[in-house]
A and B are shown apart, each in its own frame.
Chain A
Amino acid sequence: MMENAWIIPLFPLFSFLILLAVGKRLKENSAYIGILLTFISFVYSVMVLFERLNAPTLKAEQVWLTIGTMELTAGFEVNPLNSLMLVVVSLVSFLVHMYSKGYMHGDERFPIFYAYLGLFTFAMLGLVISPNLLQTYIFWELVGLGSFLLIGFYFYKEEAKAAAKKAFIMTRIGDVGLLIGMILLFWEVKSFEYADIFAAVQAGTVSETMITLSAILIFVGAVGKSGQFPLHTWLPDAMEGPTPVSALIHAATMVAAGVYLVATLFPLYEASHIAMLTVAIVGGFTAIFAASIGLVQTDIKRVLAYSTVSQLGYMMLALGSAGYVAGVFHLMTHAFFKALLFLAAGSVIHAVHTQDIEKMGGIWKKMPLTAPLFLIGTLAISGVPLFSGFFSKEEILVAAWTRGNTVLFWLAVVAAFFTAFYMFRLFFLVFTGEARSEVKDAHESPFVMTLPMLVLGGLAVFAGYVNTPWFGTFLGDWLTEGTDMHVHHEAPSWIMIVATVVSLLGIFLAWLMYGKKSLSRDWLSSRMPISYHVLFNKYYIDEFYQLTVVYAAKAVSMLFKYIDRFIVEGAANAVAALTQGIGKAGARLQNGQVQMYGAVTIIGLAALVVILALTGGYL
């Protein structure tokens, strides 16, 4: 099985090629090809994962290109981290393929959508099994291309086109960092192989500064891909793509590629304290920054997008705090519950034809499957005990605490509170309360859409149990076997309590502000007399929160929004304006008069000669 793992990415590639060739004839039957081929990939990935549980890491390569004395290789590798990623990616992709059959039904470019999905899945799986930086980079770019095509799928929408372009160019800015970092490493180590790089780092043949520099440059690439501050702005815009795409690419897989890259290169980062700290700070800041923006969004997908940015920040924080297992663990659980949330949101959008949560409400009864599943996802992301997100988030908090990043730890705690709050705000506004005009004729989605959600729902609950403080840290032991990365931290038990309390507090506040409207006073007072007293004071609490927490949060949120708009975008605009300015000036010089062209040449030559004369020969 394992020695043939390279075949896994090829199935989706076949799907892409077949659909490109005959998609027009197959029409909506294209879905079956895509579903079948990704299912094979998934089954194969599971088999590889199980085999890898008891087998050593496998790596196979061949010489791909010889430049002078340099040999570049191509091949694949199966290690614990990427065999896990293979399963996550192929599973989510398979489920999204299935879901899209219902969601995209009736779209006239249905086969093209499946073709693009195949291309993307191929690239993502290829990225995961790459054994060296160059190959990773190649698939990294291909993944970006797939994302570009899918975001712009609704090409008749001006926003979708703009978003596709923005996503591509923003992530490319990060990729430049990655490329330079990669070349620097190559220059030092004379190899793109991960194994060679780690060996050189451990042997101390690479200078400390060079490690830090290249690690940070590569991290810039991860920042772009994983939507970390300040290159995050493309991700919320990318929600213009079809919702299944948001679930697959902008929640579960591609955006996690940045985290995956840092995790893969973890030994490199570990060798540099500054690089680790940079990763932790950017991650921690992004976590709270995006969470606070999430508080005031009114578009269901944008709320989820900001929450994705924030959760990816958590993962980076974990990695930067030496919490390798925590980061990877959260990557996995997040893939499941965030994909679930997006698919459920898609199911809602499919039913009510709007994304504005102000226009939704009271869908609980109309969508008896979607609603509880969305609730499960919400509970998981909020870190409610016994759900998967609880275990992985707690692990991250422990990592941040034991690393001594106290400030970042408390920021992460506050972000957890925000997360619980805005997710439940979303939940209450969408599913409870008065049914508003848009939702009168809403009905449950077809089985082909709810089945993938059920699977993800199960995973959102149970995926956490592979690594818990109570039943054993199976995942952590396996991921780190043979290395000295995983030290069992005796986590202070109060961290778990704090995590639980803030998440419940967030939920409670959201309920007070948005949920309470669904419950008439009589209902509560008659059935829960004890609560009546609490309810009596609700305005007091409400106003108290309004004055303190909510205003403060809003202020922070506004501040970040302005930073976002004026500083981040301002810098981006300034660069763009400079570029266009040069272009404009150049175009003006190009006035069509041949004497001007001759003059430019002669002046250019004269300038060179004058410089030569002044410098007495050589620069």
Chain B
Amino acid sequence: MDLKTLLQYEWGIMTPEFTILGVATILSLIDLFMPDEKDRRLLGWFAFAGVIVALISLVGLLPVEVTSILEDTFRLDSFAKAFKFILLAGAACVILLSMDYQPAEGMPYRGEFYYLFLAALLGAMMMTSSGDLITMFVGLELLSISSYILVGLRKKYVPSNESAMKYVINGGISTAITLFGMSYIFGLTGTTNLKAIAGQLSTVIDMGQQYLLALALLMLFVGLSFKLASAPFHMWAPDVYQGAPTPVTAFLSVVSKTAGFVIVLRLMIYIFAGTPAEGTNSASMLLSMQDYIAFLAGATMIIGNTIALRQRNVKRMFAYSSIAHAGYLLVGFVTMSMFIIDSIWFYLVAYLLMNLGAFAILQVIADKSGSEDISQFAGLYRRSPLVAVAMGIFILSLAGIPGTAGFIGKVNIFLGAFVTEPAHYVLAAVMIATTVISYVYYFGILTQMFFRPAAEQTPVKLPLGVMMVVIFCAIGTIVFGVVPSIVYDFLNQFEHFGDFFS
């Protein structure tokens, strides 16, 4: 490849990525030369501005047709555009949260926070646009390695160190399994380009090769379930969520999980949806392996929701709740309905709004009291009615009560489970039953906020950044719950992601 071909590429489609990369580089330089005693918060606003600029440039890219550069390793299709919106919006919120994060022992490495965030975000964004196993894996590792450091960023706080350690080890196992799965794919096709892989595999009729492909599917899915925090790779989540700094927990539960779904959708649909199973039988591999994923989805919902019942530490409870939500999302994935990407996208948006909003309030309360116990929520309504109402909205949405975005998201997935042939009754039943179980712990928080006397009377004041996040998320949760057509009108321009394969 000579310079001329290199310059011919439409580099413009990478503007959001370049923006993030540039801001991260500049931030790391500023942080290096800035005197130690200077407040690093300014860097946060800078990072925030960078994310907003990237968002705006992404809006500018919306009308662009499917384009791929660098030998198909980077492609901008509607799938990539849609999911980058979630990633960027989530990252913007997380940066706002991190600016007001004040752990008890102080935050001397605040500068690192921001450029590591941006590096992780960059990895996630590359994953959405990747059309090649190699770049996809590099994006995944960029996200993972940055996250490992972020989790351990409270260097003088033992639980933070411990959770970083656990995260690294589990991440290593996950990477190994994923790579092992990928090696099967490469071995069978001799290429890493997703489109070429899909083309070659669509003609595989040898039973032996199909058996290996089924193995590869399981390996890939189990390896990637680490990022989703779903069974059987969910166990790291509670420990890591609890020990990590709260904004990082928010990041892991929203941005990192979204990235996980991005890669699962991209890889699974590309590689396995068109691959025949059982000899010449035309049924696709993905459909015939559905039951395995359905089983894992069911297990994830049951595990997440039942163990959450026993938690008193709210961060830990949210870790299990986030496992449960991964399960609901997987139901959407299993059903393989016509609108699978639409409904997962909507649910991720709703999840972003409600979960980040809840984490914002949790962060302020935990910082203030130094404890993450559920009793810290007692009497919140009497201390600060508006904060309690906002938290109430997020909880109701997480529980899937009508009038909130969470409800519409669940209905979408639920309807999807019925409209496909064959309908997934069992899975839908598990989803309903576990949703009912989840009311118990979600309403435990509501009970604390509204029906308990407050231990202390001082009102909870939200700092500016947190306030912005809470307002944004609360409005979004309600508006998308009452007039979801806004979101659907927005999604319509992607025409159900019809350009996914082109």
Binding site for B on A (CB under 8 A): 20, 24, 63-68, 137-139, 141-142, 145, 148-149, 152, 155-156, 160-161, 164-165, 168-169, 172-173, 176, 179-180, 183, 186-187, 579-580, 582-584, 586-587, 589-590, 592, 594, 596-598, 600-605, 608-609, 611-612, 617-619
Contact = CB atoms under 8 A, between A and B. Distances in A.
B436 A617 contact: no
A522 B436 CA distance: 63
Contact of B485 (A64, A142, A161, A186): A64
A579 B488 contact: no
A445 to B, nearest CB: 28
B450 A583 contact: no
Contact of A20 (B235, B389, B419): B389
B233 A173 contact: no
B484 interface: yes
Interface in B359-412: 385, 389, 396, 401-403, 407-408, 412
Contacts of B447: 152, 161, 164-165
Contacts of A180: 432
B457 to A, nearest CB: 14
Give the top 5 A-B pairs by smallest Cβ distance, nearest first: A604-B232, A155-B451, A138-B402, A597-B235, A583-B306
Given A142-B402, A169-B436, A617-B277, A592 B484 contact: no
B170 interface: yes
A244 B377 CA distance: 29
Contacts, number: 160
Contacts of A602: 173
Interface in B191-217: 207, 210-211, 214-215
B215 A609 contact: yes
Contacts of A24: 385
Contacts of A138: 402-403, 407
B462 interface: no
A587 B310 contact: yes
B64 to A, nearest CB: 25
B306 A586 contact: yes
Contact of A596 (B231, B235, B433): B235
Contact of B443 (A63, A165, A592, A608): A165
Interface stretch (B44-52, B77-85, B99-107, B288-296): B288-296
B412 A67 contact: yes
B440 interface: yes
30 contacts: A63-B485, A64-B484, A65-B484, A67-B412, A67-B415, A68-B496, A137-B402, A142-B402, A142-B403, A155-B451, A155-B452, A169-B436, A187-B419, A583-B308, A590-B238, A601-B222, A601-B226, A601-B232, A602-B173, A604-B233, A605-B177, A605-B218, A605-B232, A609-B215, A609-B218, A612-B215, A617-B211, A617-B288, A618-B288, A619-B292
A142 B452 CA distance: 22
B307 interface: yes
B450 A149 contact: yes
B455 interface: no
Interface residues of B, number: 69
B278 interface: yes
- Point out which of A165, A583, A589 has the most chain B C-beta atoms below 10 A from its C-beta: A583
Contact of B166 (A168, A594, A600): A594
Nearest to B437: A579
A612 B214 contact: yes
B78 to A, nearest CB: 16
Contacts of A64: 483-485
Contacts of A603: 232
A141 B401 contact: yes
Interface string B412-456: 101100110000000000001100110110010001001111000
A618 B277 contact: yes
A485 to B, nearest CB: 31
Which among A168, A584, A597 has the highest number of chain B CB atoms within 10 Å?
A597
Contacts of B310: 580, 583-584, 587
A543 B177 CA distance: 82
B136 interface: no
B232 A68 contact: no
Contacts of A619: 288-289, 291-292
Contacts of A145: 396, 401
Contacts of B307: 582-583, 586-587, 590
Contacts of A179: 432
Contacts of B170: 594, 597-598, 601
B173 A65 contact: no
A172 B412 contact: no
B277 A605 contact: no
B339 interface: yes
Contacts of B396: 145
Contacts of B215: 609, 612
Nearest to A152: B451
B451 A617 contact: no
B236 interface: yes
B334 interface: no
Contacts of A169: 436, 439-440, 443
A594 B218 contact: no
A617 B402 contact: no
B436 A173 contact: yes
B166 A597 contact: yes
Given A176-B432, A605-B222, 16 more contacts: A65-B484, A68-B339, A137-B402, A141-B401, A145-B396, A149-B450, A161-B447, A164-B451, A168-B443, A169-B436, A169-B439, A580-B309, A587-B310, A608-B218, A618-B289, A619-B288
A603 B433 CA distance: 27
Contacts of B339: 67-68
